[in-house]
Amino acid sequence: MRLTEHDVALVTGGASGLGLATVRALAAEGAKVVIVDLPSSDGKDVAEHLGDAVRFSPADVTSEESVSAALDVAAGLGQLRVVVNCAGIGTASRVVGKNGPFPLDLFRRTVEVNLIGTFNVIRLATERIAHAEPVGGERGVIVNTASVAAFEGQIGQAAYSASKGGVAAMTVPIARELAQSLIRVVTIAPGLFETPMLAGLPEEARASLGAQVPHPARLGRPDEYADLVSSIVRNPMLNGETIRLDGAIRMAPR
C-alpha cells in the first residue's frame, strides 16, 4: 500500500521511542498521522513540532472512550489506512522475590496495557478501516509490537513475556479473520532497542546489552523499527506474520 496525503495512520505510543520514529517515517511518506499517547506524554509538543500533518490525541489504549475519540480525530483528517500499536509498559518482578510473591496487580496491569490495550485498538480501528474503499486490493494494515521476550523471556519477565506472547499469538487468527475485509495484520518482535525503557540505564550498561547482540553488536535504533513498519505497509504479501527484529539475539535467562 502506497500512502498519500488522503490517508491517515494512527500510532499508539507515538510520542517517544519506536512510536515516535514510526510517526516521523509515515509522515515523511506523505500520510497524515495521529499520535495516541498518554496525556502526560510529550505528544502535544511532538505534533506541533512535526507540523500540520501530525495531530495528537491523548488516550489510554485500555480506554474505549479515549481510543474512539482518537479514531474520530483520524476520521477528520482523511481515511484511516494504517494502525501501529507501539504503546506498552515494561515490568520486572520475580514470581517470588525478597518482598514476597509477584504483585498480582502489577501482572494484571502489564497484560491489560500490552495485550488488552493492543486488542482494544485493533477492534475499534478495524471497524473504521473495514468501511474504506479498497486501494490496490487492500483497505489497510495493522502493525503490532511484541518482543523477543515473547519467545525467550528472562527471569523476572513473566508478566511482560505473557503480554507480548499474547500479542504474537493473536496475530494469525486476527489476520485470518480480517483477510475478508482486505486488512493485513503483522507483528514486529523487537530485540534490544534504544527506547525510553533503556534510556535510564548507565551508558556502560547499555553498551553491555548491545554487545550481546550477535550482529550488529549494538542496540537497535528506533528508525530501524520504523523502516520495517514502512516496508510492511508497502508489501502486500506480508500478512499474519511475527517478524523478529533483533540482530539474531536469543535472550539468556538473566
Q: Which positions are annotated as active-site residues?
A: 160
- Greatest pairwise CA separation for the chain in angstroms: 57
Tell me the torsion sign for CA atoms 91, 45, 202, 13.
positive
Tell me the torsion sign for CA atoms 87, 223, 184, 242.
negative
Residue with cell 496495557: 113
CA–CA dist 127, 100 (Å, integer):
44
**Which value, in Å, is the radius of gyration of the alpha carbons in the chain?**
18
DSSP 98: T
CA–CA dist 67, 38 (Å, integer):
11
Helical axes 222-234 vs 17-28, angle rounded to 10°: 50
CB atoms within 10 A of CB 30: 13
Residue pair 121/67 in contact by the 8 Å Cβ criterion: yes
At residue 83, the 3 state secondary structure works out as: strand
Q: Give CA 210 to chain center in angstroms.
A: 21
